[in-house]
Amino acid sequence: MSESIPIYRAEVLDHVEVAPEHFVMTLDAPEIAREARPGQFVMVRSLGTWDPLLPRAFSVYHADAEGGCIDIMYRQVGRGTGRLRLNEPGVHVQLWGPLGKPFQLADVEQVVLVGGGVGVPPIVFYAEYLDRLLAPVKVVALIGASTETFLVGIDHLQRANATVRVATDDGTAGHHGYVTQLLPEYLEDTPTAVYACGPMPMLAAVARITEAQGVPAELALEAPMACGVGACLGCTVPRREGGYARVCTDGPVFRPEEIAW
């Protein structure tokens, strides 16, 4: 906890629409690009206004250590992302990170990544990280979305040599139903670890399935955040052992058994 956290008025280098309502923003942030690990996030605040007031947390989607920049991917849903959308290249935003605990690779032969909605960015980052390992593991990526057009990051996952399977709520692509319904068949024989990020109900399902089968898993949670660094105590989730954990600093990555779902 004692080393310093990079913070900048970071320049927006690029800002493009990658799917309906989905945007990728590239930010000039050399230290963060070097230090960020999959599962970690950054806090971003648009400048010049107090409304929206609070920064928003975004998972690191790509980190280009050489180029000294990072990508975040967001879906424009509310005030924060609505304001974020207005920051064209050349504009500066306040940025600090990397924050939180990253995914920890278990000693397994197969890794199953489960991503839903805006939980996909850290999954993509992790897949690319795993692909660069000296001793590569088999990587399966199960990606869910409400509908086909909202499926994002698939190409990146394939380029990272992951076996990709998709599910959509409306059946417009892949499995018609929840992405978690695809999970069990991968937990049969090969020693496997599961890493997931997405909406709470999806994570709860992953927790149920993996705990029942005794498969190691890590889940990246979301919670409303004010500070992102552990000071406001606003982002807590109840611990199974009692008391509360801070998603921003005790997480965002938790093991299923840590949380009282």
Partner 1 sequence: MSTVEVKRETRPSLEVELAGMKLKNPVMSASGCFGWGEEYARFFDLNRMGALVGKAVTPRPRPGNPDVRIAETPAGMLNAIGLQNPGPEGFLNQILPRVRLLDLPVWVNVSANSLQEYVDLCDLLSQADGVSAIELNLSCPNVGRGGAEFCVVQEAVRETVSACRKVCRVPLIPKLSPNTTDVVALARAAEEAGADAVSLINTLVGMAIDIDRRRPVLGNQTGGLSGPAVKPIALRMVYEVSGAISIPVVGIGGIACWQDAVEFLMAGAAAVQVGTANFFNPTAIPEVIDGLENWLREKQIGDVREIIGVARQPKRR
Ligand X SMILES: Cc1cc2nc3c(=O)[nH]c(=O)nc-3n(C[C@H](O)[C@H](O)[C@H](O)COP(=O)(O)OP(=O)(O)OC[C@H]3O[C@@H](n4cnc5c(N)ncnc54)[C@H](O)[C@@H]3O)c2cc1C
Interface with ligand FES includes 235 (CB under 6 A)?
yes
Residue 74, binding choice from ligand X, a copy of itself, ligand FES, none, Cβ under 5 to 8 Å by partner class: ligand X
**Closest distance to a copy of itself from the beta carbon of 47 (Å):** 9
Interface with ligand X includes 27 (CB under 6 A)?
no
Residue 35, exposed/middle/buried by CB under 10 A (0-12, 13-18, 19+)? middle
The residue behind tokens 């999959």 is: 38
Cα distances (Å, whole numbers) of residue 184 to 164, 216, 260: 15, 13, 22
Interface with ligand FES includes 39 (CB under 6 A)?
no
HSE, side-chain direction, 13 A CA sphere, residue 33: 16
- Please enumerate in sequence order all residues whose Cβ is within 8 A of that of 31, keeping only pairs 6 or more positions apart, or say none: 6
Local structure of residue 177 (DSSP, 8 states): S
Among 1, 3, 4, 49, binds a copy of itself (CB under 8 A): 49
Does residue 120 contact residue 152 with C-beta atoms inside 8 Å?
Answer: yes
Residue 252, binding choice from partner 1, a copy of itself, ligand X, none, Cβ under 5 to 8 Å by partner class: ligand X
- Contact set for a copy of itself, span 161-220 (CB under 8 A): none
- Contact set for ligand X, span 196-235 (CB under 6 A): 222-223, 225
**Where does this chain bind partner 1 (CB under 8 A)?**
1-5, 7, 45, 50-55, 79, 94, 96, 223-227, 229-238, 242-244, 249
Does residue 125 contact residue 220 with C-beta atoms inside 8 Å?
Answer: no
HSE, side-chain direction, 13 A CA sphere, residue 117: 16
Interface with a copy of itself includes 238 (CB under 8 A)?
no
Interface with ligand FES includes 226 (CB under 6 A)?
yes
What is the dihedral sign for C-alpha 251, 207, 205, 128? positive
What residues are paired with 14 via a beta bridge?
Answer: 26
- Contact set for ligand X, span 123-162 (CB under 6 A): none
Does residue 171 contact residue 157 with C-beta atoms inside 8 Å?
Answer: no
Interface with ligand FES includes 231 (CB under 6 A)?
yes
Strands 22-28 and 138-145: unpaired
Residue 40, binding choice from ligand X, a copy of itself, ligand FES, none, Cβ under 5 to 8 Å by partner class: none
Interface with ligand FES includes 56 (CB under 6 A)?
no
Using alpha carbons, select from 115, 112, 33, 15 the residue that is nearest to residue 73. Answer: 15
Interface with ligand FES includes 42 (CB under 6 A)?
no
- Contact set for ligand X, span 48-77 (CB under 6 A): 52, 56-59, 72-75, 77
Binding site for ligand FES (CB under 6 A): 225-228, 230-235, 246, 248
Binding site for a copy of itself (CB under 8 A): 48-52, 79, 82-83, 86-88, 91
Binding site for ligand X (CB under 6 A): 41, 52, 56-59, 72-75, 77-81, 117-118, 121, 222-223, 225, 252
